[in-house]
Structure 1
């Protein structure tokens, strides 16, 4: 002791994910009365790097110094799926060969996957990046868990999930009592485990508690690629089609068909911005029968065609982006 941890920050990293990972280490030292952990910051070129909120952090050195550490945590955020630095990839692979434990926060899983560091490992990523991640890396076992710890890889979905992942690791290394004390200092009512949901419950997201309506929407979310018919949705919830229509009009101010197509269009937008899939492949993956029908629906909803969307300015990462109109 202390355990030396290298944080590798790439441009536009998520500040909340980074602080959620480093602050538990600080409080573990304070609560235990011992220096259990010591952390050091590095960037690809050794120069200050800005988080997605614009705040710059000054590192101790460049990425090649991570080879001196047994625990390395890659911090990413906006546009992590576009990050390309062959030197960083090579350094991470070399650290892996040296036996380092390597983790990733937020969209850092994209970077590890691009460096061929996740083949044969379980990993997770922010729920808005999950669909594009699985399309880009079908050979990687990606889950929707809050975080994943698989041998010498650990990944989290971003945001405050990093806090729970680090609390679990502190508990494994130094006992649950210390982890609980750190959690209490944060006024964090409980330490979530990896199986906790990334997303808020539908009732909280929508502000609706009608169980039949929630059941229908759950069916919609689970069947975006092959949309269910109105009759099938109603039958699965024990409703008539007219009852279902009335519930959507009362609570969501739109028809079931409109709500369903907006779910599929929002999924399509994420795939357009985060993958190299063709427009027709995205259309089919989101339940549209043809590229022309998809393009018309997309233009009506977003005010631009799918091709124009993809050709526009670089968009913010979904892990940081505002909720789209019509999204849950």
Structure 2
């Protein structure tokens, strides 16, 4: 399951709050869902709060969030988001780890905010998935699991995993989630509700903005590129990208040819191959795993596409240097 395919109404989101969680990170993740319900005039998101133990969770500032359900109860979720604060690398509740693994096996989408991605990693469900984490925890994550595909991005969406550095970046990640479910115009209304008019792409702020990188200010093109960057391992079809960008497929293709000199799907393929090239250089994933992480169904298709773009095979790229952590 990926975030675009999972469009149950209401979409059931559970927040697992680890005592000491950052209140800002939690608020930035949960409040867009509440605003979406209000603006839609119905509950398009069903929100549950789960403490690790007991009847409530306590934030780092002392704010109390009361439980609406508990671990192990017979409640179905589409998405679980773990929110944690300082010291998540020391979290060692095996009951929580087992519960997260159980939900992941059932196909529930798993997310983490601030220190939450560390707990996802410690539970063993982030293998072969790109992820990010708050900069404060990045070194600790690299030490206890150097094979993780850790990126210094504000958020990363990789198929059925959503991870976010925390703070206000959660607003950007939830904007991407709401866009995938209800389209960019509705997501923009939600962001405007919070006067959050400068939506950042997944890769910011460690790189320049899309306007500078691609030399265009065309909103549908930038919206399409943002969708592509959020769906590297689970590629969207042209009609999906066009619909979510507010255009027809032919019109979007014309824009890409006029502004970027490539077709929409040709641009998308190159974006995925660039990500694969980085993984070959910077990770220890097998070529088959890299192919899957870049959205290619088979190694043969990936190898052919990679050779056409870079003039050498993936295995030749891998021998150019030893993989290193991202």
Give the structure-1-normalised TM-score: 0.59
> How does 1:1-328 map onto structure 2 within 5 Å?
1-65=9-73, 68-197=76-205
> Distance between the aligned counterparts of 1:57 and 1:169, measured in 2?
23
Instruction: Measure how far apart 1:156 and its partner are.
Output: 0.1
Per the TM alignment, residue 199 of structure 1 is displaced from its structure 2 partner at its CA by 10
Q: Deviations over 1:77-99 (max 9, x none)?
A: 12111111000000000001111
Deviation at 1:198, TM superposition (A): 6.0
Alignment-derived partner of residue 323 in structure 2: none
Q: Does the aligned pair in 1 maintain the 2:17–2:50 contact within 8 Å?
A: yes
How much does 1:30 deviate? Answer: 1.7
Aligned counterparts of 2:75 and 2:102: Cα–Cα separation in 1: 8
Alpha-carbon contact 1:124-1:142 (below 8 Å) kept? yes
Gaps of 5+ in 1: 201-328
Deviation of 1:129 (Å): 1.8
The alignment partner of 2:157 has SS state of: strand
Alpha-carbon contact 2:89-2:140 (below 8 Å) kept:
no
Q: CA deviation at 1:189?
A: 2.0
**CA positional deviation for 1:68:** 2.2
**Contact 1:10 1:43 (C-alpha < 8 Å) held by counterparts:** yes
The answer (yes or no) to whether the contact 1:42–1:66 under 8 Å persists in 2 is no
Q: What are the Cα deviations for residues 163-217 of structure 1, in whole angstroms up to 9, with x where unaligned? A: 11001110111000011111111111221110111699xxxxxxxxxxxxxxxxx
CA contact (8 A) 2:48 2:69 kept: no
TM superposition outliers: structure 1 runs of 4+ over 6 Å = none
Aligned CA distance change for structure 1 residues 114 and 66 (closer, same or farther; 3 Å): farther
How far residue 132 of structure 1 moved from its aligned partner, in angstroms, is: 2.3
Deviation at 1:21, TM superposition (A): 0.5
Structure 1 contact 67–91 (Cα < 8 Å) conserved: no
Is this contact kept in 2: 1:121–1:153, CA < 8 A?
A: yes
Mapped to 2, the partners of 1:194 and 1:76 lie a distance apart of 20
- Going from structure 1 to structure 2, the CA distance change for 1:9 and 1:127 (only over 3 Å counts) comes to same
Any conservation in 1 of the 2:13–2:47 contact (CA below 8 Å)? yes
- Calculate the aligned-residue CA RMSD, in Å: 1.9
How far apart in 2 are the matches of 1:126 and 1:66? 32
Deviation (angstroms), 1:33: 2.2
**Offset at residue 121 of structure 1 (A):** 0.5
For 1:64, what is the secondary structure of its paired residue? Answer: coil
**1:190 & 1:29 partners in 2: Cα distance?**
22
For structure 2, the residue ranges without an aligned partner over 5 or more in a row are 1-8, 209-326
